[in-house]
Amino acid sequence: MDEELASISEVVWLTPTETLDRAESLLSQLGYFTTHRSDYSLTAQRPATSSSAEHDTYMLTVTVSPQAKGGVKVAVRGDDREGMQAHQKEWAQWADSLPKEGSSTRLPTTSVRAAPQRVEESTNPEPEKLSKSQRSRAAFAQKDERERDEPPAQRSGLRGAARVLGVLCFIVGALLLFAFSSLILTGDQSVLAQIELGIWSMCFFLAGIYLKLEA
């Protein structure tokens, strides 16, 4: 008669496979041999020890029932009540050795060690020298970035000062150009003085143009 002979009231904190592995090991030590095994049950038999026994063999089936939160419930069924009573101590020790839910014993885990980071040598070639146009664009980009970082009031003041200086440079350049033209027409000064005056007038004009662009 197949009936429940024993069970563990607590949740065993093992996987079904691990629980059945441990049950199979115990049954083998007690003289049973496995006749069938599935994912959630293990059936084993032992021969009768006396000629007056009702059966030639006796059977035990260990079943595991997975729980929703993890772990399994364990029960033992079969017709070998005599064998269970004879080995009651071994079965009790086996049940006590199984990790239970809430105990300090947990499923064995494999520690994962991070692989050391490999530092690869840089194979990037040295940066090529920038051309004149590239340097000019880079300078303008840096200038724009600096201007964006400046406070709005400071930028407005600098631009206003640049515009005023630009106008002054244009006026001075115009006066010097007028004087240069007068010297050429009258011929009062030497050629060297005329050239020098013309150069100064051009410098002021160029300075005015630069300041206007900056503003």
CA-based nearest residue to 167, from 134, 212, 132: 212
Number of domains observed in the structure of the chain: 2
Indicate the burial class of 181 (C-beta count within 10 angstroms; 0-12, 13-18, 19 or more).
middle
3-class DSSP state of 77: strand
Q: Is residue 64 left, alpha or beta, with left meaning phi > 0 and alpha meaning psi from -120 to 50?
A: beta
pLDDT over 50 at 181, yes or no? yes
Q: How many residues does the chain have?
A: 215
Residue numbers of the domain that contains 188 = 151-214
Same domain, 26 and 90: yes
List pLDDT tens digits, range 156-179: 676 777 777 777 877 887 777 777
Residues 93, 174, single domain; the answer is no
Q: What is the pLDDT of residues 120-170, one digit of tens each?
A: 554 555 555 556 667 767 776 776 666 666 566 666 676 777 777 777 877
Is 167 within the bounds of a domain?
yes
CATH code where residue 7 lies: 3.30.310.80
